[in-house]
C-alpha cells in the first residue's frame, strides 16, 4: 500500500474519532458532573466573597487610617485636611452636571389645612420637584430658617406631613417656625434598583443625581425673600437619612443635620449578614455604591460634616441595625467633635422606638442650632 493510501486512512480514522467524541459530548453535555461543577463554582464564589469581605471589613481600619490625615487644631484646619477625602467622596456619588432650562414653577398645593406649594424646576431632561411650605408670618421683614425634609424609600413628599413613623414632623417644623422644602426623590426598591443600574453605566449614582436636583432647587428657593439663606438645615428619615449623611459633606449651605433611622456600623451593615439586623442584599442592589467602603464608614463620613451640628436618631427596636453597634459607631464619630472641643454639637438620640423620627428632640436640636 502507498503512503498516500495510509495517510488518507489516517484522516478517515481521525474524522471517525472526532464524530464519535462529538456524539458522546452531545449525549452528555456535562463532561464534569453537575454536582462537581456546582461545588467548584460555589467554592470559588465563597473565595471571592471572603476576599472582598476581608478587604471591606477586616482591613478597613488600617486602610482608612492611611487615607485620612485630619488636623484638629481648628475647624478650618480640619476642613482643609479632609479636602482630599471630600473629593474622593464626591467621586463615590459622582454627581452629574445638570443645567437649569427654565424658571422655577410654583403651584398652590393644599395638604389638609396646610397651604403649601408644589415647585418644579426644569433641568433639561430632568425636573427637580418638591413641596415648599412656610410658617405663618414669614415675610421679607421676618425671614425664617428652612429645613430640607427628606422622605424615605417607601414614602413621598406628602408623607412627612402625615402620622405613622414620620409623626408629621414637617407639620411640627412649620409650627415651630421653620419653612420646609420636601424634595421628591425616587420611591420604591424596584425603581431605585432599575435606575441605579443605568446610573452606574453612566458613571454616576442616583444619590448623586438627586443631590444636584436639590442643589438647583436650593438656588431658587433660597432666593425667596422670606427665607434666611444662612440658616438651612436638613432632616431625613431612613433613605432620607442616607441623603442627609451623603449630601452634607458636599453641600456647605446645609448648616445643621438630623439623621433618623439610617446611621449604622456601616461595614457590618453592608458586608456582614447577621440575624440581629436586616441586610440590603440580595434585594436592594440600589444601596451599594462603588468605593463607599474604601474609607467612608459612617463615623468617617461624619468628619466631612463636622464642625456643623449633627443629631443621630436611632431606635433600639429598629431592625436596620443592632443598636449597640450604632452606639459603637457613634462613639467613634463624636471624637471628631471632641477633638475640636465642640462635643455639644453632636448628639445621639437613642430611643426605645423603631424606624421613625423623634419629633420633639429634633425640633429642640434645630431650635438650638438653626434659630
Pairwise CA distance, residues 213 & 191, whole Å: 18
pLDDT band at 11 (very low <50, low <70, confident <90, very high): very low
Give the residue-averaged pLDDT of 6-31: 48
Residue 82 lies in a domain: no
Same-domain check for residues 113 and 157: yes
Pairwise CA distance, residues 162 & 167, whole Å: 6
Same-domain check for residues 250 and 337: yes
Same-domain check for residues 11 and 155: no
Same-domain check for residues 138 and 227: yes
Residue 83 lies in a domain: no
Same-domain check for residues 362 and 289: yes
Same-domain check for residues 366 and 333: yes
pLDDT at 288: 98
User: How crowded is the C-beta side of 97, counted as CA atoms within 13 Å?
Assistant: 0
Residue 240 lies in a domain: yes
Tens of pLDDT, residue by residue over 219-274, are 999 999 999 999 999 999 999 999 999 999 999 999 999 999 999 999 999 999 99
Same-domain check for residues 139 and 58: no
Does the structure show a pLDDT above 80 at 29? no
Tens of pLDDT, residue by residue over 189-207, are 999 999 999 999 999 999 9
Give the residue-averaged pLDDT of 175-192: 98
- Cell 498516500, located at residue: 4
Domain count along the chain: 2
Same-domain check for residues 55 and 145: no
Residue 81 lies in a domain: no
Does the structure show a pLDDT above 70 at 12? no
Mean pLDDT for all residues in the chain: 93
Taking a C-beta distance cutoff of 8 angstroms, is the pair 243, 337 a contact?
A: no
Same-domain check for residues 65 and 94: no
Residue 84 lies in a domain: no
Same-domain check for residues 57 and 130: no
Does the structure show a pLDDT above 50 at 164? yes
Q: Which of 273, 253, 277 is nearest to 326 (CA)?
A: 277
Does the structure show a pLDDT above 90 at 16? no
pLDDT band at 100 (very low <50, low <70, confident <90, very high): very high
Residue 21 lies in a domain: yes
pLDDT at 231: 98
Give the residue-averaged pLDDT of 342-357: 98
Cross-strand pairs, 348: 312
Indicate the DSSP class of residue 58: I
Percentage of the chain lying above the pLDDT 70 cut: 92
Q: Directed axis angle between helix 206-221 and helix 83-93, to 10°?
A: 110
Residue 183 lies in a domain: yes
pLDDT at 272: 96
Give the residue-averaged pLDDT of 304-330: 98
Does the structure show a pLDDT above 50 at 62? yes
Domain extent for 35: 3-71
Same-domain check for residues 35 and 179: no
Give the residue-averaged pLDDT of 175-187: 98
Q: Which of 97, 171, 183, 185 is nearest to 134 (CA)?
A: 171
Same-domain check for residues 61 and 98: no
Residue 76 lies in a domain: no
Cα dihedral 208, 101, 222, 131 sign = negative
Pairwise CA distance, residues 82 & 203, whole Å: 24
CATH number of the domain bearing residue 234: 3.40.50.1820
Show the cell assigned to 269.
451593615
pLDDT band at 30 (very low <50, low <70, confident <90, very high): low
Percentage of the chain lying above the pLDDT 90 cut: 91
Q: What is the pTM of this model?
A: 0.91
Does the structure show a pLDDT above 60 at 363? yes
pLDDT at 173: 98
Amino acid at each position: 500500500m502507498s503512503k498516500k493510501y495510509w495517510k488518507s486512512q489516517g484522516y478517515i480514522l481521525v474524522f471517525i474519532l472526532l464524530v464519535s467524541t462529538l456524539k458522546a459530548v452531545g449525549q452528555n453535555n456535562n463532561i464534569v458532573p453537575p454536582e462537581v461543577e456546582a461545588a467548584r463554582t460555589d467554592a470559588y464564589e465563597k473565595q471571592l466573597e471572603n476576599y472582598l469581605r476581608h478587604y471591606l471589613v477586616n482591613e478597613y481600619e488600617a486602610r482608612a487610617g492611611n487615607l485620612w490625615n485630619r488636623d484638629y487644631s481648628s475647624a478650618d484646619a480640619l476642613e482643609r485636611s479632609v479636602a482630599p477625602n471630600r473629593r474622593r467622596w464626591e467621586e463615590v456619588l459622582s454627581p452629574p452636571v445638570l443645567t437649569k432650562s427654565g424658571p422655577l414653577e410654583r403651584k398652590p398645593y393644599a395638604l389638609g389645612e396646610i397651604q403649601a406649594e408644589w415647585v418644579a424646576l426644569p433641568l433639561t431632561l430632568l425636573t427637580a420637584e418638591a413641596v415648599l411650605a412656610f410658617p405663618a408670618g414669614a415675610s421679607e421683614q421676618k425671614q425664617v430658617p428652612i429645613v430640607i425634609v427628606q422622605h424615605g424609600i417607601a414614602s413621598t413628599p406628602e408623607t412627612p406631613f402625615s402620622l405613622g413613623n414620620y409623626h408629621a414632623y414637617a407639620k411640627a417644623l412649620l409650627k415651630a417656625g421653620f419653612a420646609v422644602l420636601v424634595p421628591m426623590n425616587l420611591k420604591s426598591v424596584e425603581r431605585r434598583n432599575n435606575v441605579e443600574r443605568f446610573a452606574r453605566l453612566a458613571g454616576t449614582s442616583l444619590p448623586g443625581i438627586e443631590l444636584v436636583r436639590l442643589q438647583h432647587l436650593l438656588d431658587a428657593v433660597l432666593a425667596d425673600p422670606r427665607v434666611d439663606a444662612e440658616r438651612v438645615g436638613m432632616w431625613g428619615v431612613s433613605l432620607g437619612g442616607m441623603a442627609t449623611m451623603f449630601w452634607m459633606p458636599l453641600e456647605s449651605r446645609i448648616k445643621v443635620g438630623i439623621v433618623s433611622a439610617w446611621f449604622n456600623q456601616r461595614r457590618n451593615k453592608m458586608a456582614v449578614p447577621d440575624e440581629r439586623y436586616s441586610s440590603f442584599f440580595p434585594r436592594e442592589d440600589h444601596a451599594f455604591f462603588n468605593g463607599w467602603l474604601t474609607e467612608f464608614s459612617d463615623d468617617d463620613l461624619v468628619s466631612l460634616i463636622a464642625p456643623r451640628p449633627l443629631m443621630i436618631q436611632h431606635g433600639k427596636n429598629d431592625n436596620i441595625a443592632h443598636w449597640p453597634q450604632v452606639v459603637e459607631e457613634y462613639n467613634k464619630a463624636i471624637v471628631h467633635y471632641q477633638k475640636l472641643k465642640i462635643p455639644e454639637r453632636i448628639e445621639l438620640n437613642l430611643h426605645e422606638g423603631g424606624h421613625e423620627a423623634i419629633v420633639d428632640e429634633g425640633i429642640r436640636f434645630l431650635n438650638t442650632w438653626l434659630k
